[in-house]
Chains A and B, each alone.
Chain A
């Protein structure tokens, strides 16, 4: 079974500052990793995913994440945030075997301050 820990439940950051949202996972098998974003009163939208290959993954809206197998981490970063990035961010993991259900972290609420 897999588990995901998002280390920060809330992250406030000033506009145009960099941000890192931390995610650690636990699994006895190979995994796929995902970051989803949820804007207020909306569903979840995929930001980026790691399936294999390069450990640095680029996603939409200027976000990127780095897969670190030795530290079992998949931290999300953005060099300069905007007010519109205010949302809840979820890290998720699945077995690397196709169409297995996702296991989600509890989420990190990013608040961008003007």
Chain B
């Protein structure tokens, strides 16, 4: 299995609070992605990174920000969580020149 961990694995928070999810990889892969999974929607891209400090928006980026200060970590921040951001969040990684993405175990976030 690819070395990807996500933390926390589960989180319950209240509307309006800031939340940061962490994705950590030990594969030294250049590309990292954040997706959210919702019933009936499959997985949708939030943000992705193509290198340290290089990021771009995905399909559903509103309300989310990301940071990547080192190769192994990709942080997803909800500045002020809303109930619509209740979801399962998956991080994925891929190596340069590859298209196969390896997924982490996911973080289940509940915003009350």
Contacts and interface: CB of A to CB of B under 8 A. Distances in A.
A107 B37 CA distance: 10
A56 to B, nearest CB: 19
A99 B45 contact: no
Contacts of A49: 99-100
Contact of A99 (B43, B94, B103): B94
Contacts of B42: 6, 90, 104-107
Given A90-B43, A106-B40, A106-B42, A46 B94 contact: no
Scoring B35, B97, B100 by chain A CB atoms within 10 A of each residue's CB, the highest score goes to B100
A29 to B, nearest CB: 14
A102 B100 CA distance: 9
B74 interface: no
A43 B45 contact: no
A69 to B, nearest CB: 17
A32 B103 CA distance: 18
B70 interface: no
B7 to A, nearest CB: 14
Contacts of A46: 100-102
A41 to B, nearest CB: 8
B62 interface: no
Contacts of A32: 99
16 contacts: A34-B99, A36-B103, A42-B106, A43-B90, A43-B104, A43-B105, A43-B106, A45-B103, A46-B101, A90-B43, A99-B94, A99-B98, A100-B99, A103-B45, A104-B43, A106-B40
Interface of A: 6, 9, 32, 34, 36, 42-46, 49, 51, 90, 92, 94, 98-107
Q: Which 5 A-B pairs have the closest CB atoms?
A: A104-B42, A106-B42, A43-B103, A44-B103, A104-B43
Given A92-B43, A103-B45, 8 more contacts: A42-B106, A43-B103, A43-B106, A46-B100, A98-B96, A101-B48, A104-B42, A106-B41
